[in-house]
């Protein structure tokens, strides 16, 4: 009885301490990029789903943008299609784009997910990205194929869904429609940032497979100011897929999102720890 009583007390104490944080987000929109290990591991996936439902039950409005990098990579390998990354983004030719759309708008999301190309929800043009040559130090333009850069977001579909059903949780696949009708593969972090800006989200949460942004000694950086992000990229602190995450976080914070957080999707209840505890669970960009 004593152990049960202690456990009950601990649960009650935890809920009581979380109350001020819950009140902070009631009625607010929180955009979550869901992907990586949290999306592949069945137990983490089920836990994530329960946590998102809890947020909704508490009166918070989560909007989910899902990735699918591991699934896309596996199918590309099975089909013998070579894929590469430049600047943290997957180069997407015609064959790769077919696989991307097959995965993101197919088996991952058929039951409850919108494609960003539905109803012009997410609009994009061909992305342009530059990279500094390590030898010549000259900026060179990278050809990423059918990788898209968001140019507009029509939030009417999501807003209508939220108003029509108080328990409905929008989930969006990061496939965007181009001006000529061609579909583009948009990095899920970037798509989540564009949605967060358009919806005026209180928080943008980017789940990844590391604890957050790590310094050169592999220590977690708890807080980062937007103005320091270019330096972190320039000096090599941020590399690979962390670059678009930080760039997206900076852009979203500069365009009306309350704050962005890069956090470890492998950690159980990462969303709840970030939103409802004093110190959060990842790297806060503000």
pLDDT of residue 108: 47
Three-state secondary structure call for residue 80: coil
- pTM equals 0.81
**pLDDT of amino acid 110:** 47
Cβ atoms of residues 204 and 257 within 8 Å: yes
Ranges of residues in the chain whose predicted pLDDT is under 50? 1, 107-112
Distance of alpha carbon 248 from alpha carbon 229, whole angstroms: 11
Q: 190, 204 in Cβ contact below 8 A?
A: no
Report whether 244 contacts 188 (CB < 8 A). Answer: no
Q: Retrieve residue 95's tokens.
A: 């064959």
């Amino acid at each position: 009885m004593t152990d049960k009583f202690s456990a009950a007390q601990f649960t009650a104490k935890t809920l009581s301490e979380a109350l001020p944080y819950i009140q902070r987000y009631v009625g607010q929109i929180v955009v979550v990029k869901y992907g990586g290990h949290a999306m592949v591991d069945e137990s983490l996936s089920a836990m994530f789903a329960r946590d998102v439902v809890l947020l909704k039950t508490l009166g918070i409005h989560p909007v989910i943008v899902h990735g699918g990098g591991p699934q896309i990579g596996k199918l590309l390998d099975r089909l013998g299609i070579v894929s590469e990354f430049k600047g943290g983004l997957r180069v997407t030719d015609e064959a790769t784009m077919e696989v991307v759309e097959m995965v993101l708008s197919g088996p991952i999301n058929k039951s409850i997910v919108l494609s960003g190309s539905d109803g012009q929800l997410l609009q994009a043009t061909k992305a342009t990205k530059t990279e500094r040559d390590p030898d010549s130090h000259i900026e060179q333009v990278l050809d990423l194929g059918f990788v898209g850069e968001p140019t507009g977001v029509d939030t009417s579909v999501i807003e209508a869904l939220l108003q029509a059903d108080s328990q409905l949780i929008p989930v969006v696949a990061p496939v965007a429609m181009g001006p000529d009708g061609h579909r583009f593969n948009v990095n899920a972090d970037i798509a989540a940032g564009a949605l967060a800006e358009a919806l005026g989200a209180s928080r943008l949460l980017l789940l990844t497979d590391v604890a957050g942004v790590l310094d050169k000694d592999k220590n977690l950086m708890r807080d980062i100011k937007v103005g320091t992000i270019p330096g972190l990229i320039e000096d090599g602190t941020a590399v690979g897929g962390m670059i678009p995450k930080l760039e997206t976080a900076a852009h979203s914070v500069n365009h009306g999102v309350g704050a962005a957080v890069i956090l470890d999707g492998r950690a159980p209840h990462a969303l709840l720890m970030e939103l409802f505890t004093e110190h959060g669970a990842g790297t806060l960009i503000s």
